[in-house]
Amino acid sequence: MKKLYSVGLGFSSNCNMNCPFCYSRAKRNEGRDLSLDVWYDFFRRNASSIGSVNYGTGENTTSDAWYALIDHIHEHYPHIRQAVTTNGSLYPVQKDDLEKREAIIRSIDEVDVSLDFGEREMHNACRGNSHAFDWVLGTLEFCQAHDILPTIVTLGTDETLKIENMEHIFKIAQQYGAKVRINLYRPVQKDCEIRPASLESILKFFDWADREHQIVSISDPLFSALLCGDTIAPDPSGSSSIRITQDGSIYPSTYLLFEEFLMGNIRDFHLDTDIPGNPGADRLLHAPIPSACKKCPKVFGCRGGVLDRRYLWYKDFKERDPYCFAEHPELFRHYRTHKEDFASVHDGYLPTLFFKN
């Protein structure tokens, strides 16, 4: 069977919010957005190797051309599942433009909407936009009305993972029939005041989520291996997923948008032949298992942990995941994941965490 890749696609460099933790700002400020013809040609050559596309890395719903692209893919390559991660701007756009609303309903299978705080003022301040919170609710209502799979995605920091905040977010998710996805914050920006969540905050949240809600899917090698028994969730970066930025640059990881991981450009790239043996991808695919992990009983599931975290923390792959607690087996858990009838473009696309009410 032909291998199908999950593609994260940043079609537009535009964004109408000012999030201090943005992992793609530097990259979005480089290069130019490509014309539709270049994207059409890329999909013509590679559609048979693509299983899903998630549009992120910029607020794609604010681009007029994006609607033409999703319609084109829906019409010509209907086997490709399409999802969009939005800051909520999908709501005012579709409200004011019938053609764009119909394009979304026709073409988009999943909507991932960002909500970091369950209180209006806190979320608006975090996003630098006074409409952010209400646009999130409007987007969720839109998804509910049109039977589009919704997910609330929350940046995982010490502040957002506080149980009081997560109670608000899960309540909103329940109201609109949405799953909750946690993306643990990575320190991509050097001058960002936000810091990664502590292991204590993460484990406290997991305990609460397992007790009060349900853990759905943990596509994070470290937390899957150490918290979910013998579940194996290999890091998909470069092996089954890739990231494409607005200038057509291709990378094996959502967060490692650096020159040393550049795989090529969509203008002359063929997924089925140009990924195997690609130096940019091989840096991840052949990353060594840290020597500190060799005798760990969880090594075959974890393999040192999440690749992007290892690189962002230590600038190489010699060290194990910074969240590793294998030397403290008293912290191990045996949570059950409730993955029945669950499918998402994001599950297995990048190391992330899914929960539900």
- Span 321-338, pLDDT tens digits: 999 999 999 999 999 999
Residue 182 in this model has a pLDDT that exceeds 90: yes
Q: How many CB atoms lie within 10 A of CB 289?
A: 16
pLDDT of residue 29: 62
With residue 107 as reference, give the H or E element that holds it.
helix 98-107
Bigger pLDDT: 155 or 229?
Answer: 155
In the chain the domains, ranked by start, together with CATH numbers, are 5-286+339-356 (3.20.20.70)
Residue 24 in this model has a pLDDT that exceeds 60: no
Which tokens is 46 given?
Answer: 């590679």
pLDDT of residue 230: 61
**DSSP readout, 166-225?**
HHHHHHHHHHHT-EEEEEE----STT-S--PPPHHHHHHHHHHHHHHSEEEEE--HHHHH
**pLDDT grade, residue 2 (50/70/90)?**
confident
Q: What is the largest CA-CA distance in the chain?
A: 59
Among 217, 223, 257, residue whose Cα is nearest residue 237 = 257
pLDDT of residue 14: 79
Bigger pLDDT: 17 or 145?
Answer: 145
Residue 28 in this model has a pLDDT that exceeds 60: no
3-state secondary structure of 240: coil
3-state secondary structure of 156: strand
Residue 140 in this model has a pLDDT that exceeds 70: yes
**Could you report the per-residue pLDDT of 67-125, keeping only the tens digit for each?**
999 999 999 999 999 999 999 999 999 999 999 999 999 999 999 999 999 999 999 99
Q: Measured on CA atoms in the order 237, 140, 93, 124, is the torsion positive or negative?
A: negative
**Could you report the per-residue pLDDT of 220-246, keeping only the tens digit for each?**
999 999 999 766 788 889 999 999 999
pLDDT of residue 22: 59
| Residue 160 CB partners (closer than 8 Å, separation 6+) | 116, 117, 154, 166
**pLDDT grade, residue 58 (50/70/90)?**
confident
pLDDT of residue 143: 98
Residue 16 in this model has a pLDDT that exceeds 80: no
Output the pTM of the full model. Answer: 0.94
**Could you report the per-residue pLDDT of 249-300, keeping only the tens digit for each?**
999 999 999 999 999 999 999 999 999 999 999 999 999 999 999 899 899 8
Helix intervals (H) in 271-322: 271-274, 279-285, 299-302, 307-314
Sort 78 into a burial class: Cβ within 10 Å, 0-12 / 13-18 / 19+: exposed
Share of the chain above pLDDT 90, in %: 80
pLDDT of residue 351: 92
| d(C-alpha 252, C-alpha 343), whole Å | 22
pLDDT of residue 26: 59
Residue 31 in this model has a pLDDT that exceeds 70: no
**Could you report the per-residue pLDDT of 186-215, keeping only the tens digit for each?**
987 666 678 899 999 999 999 999 999 999
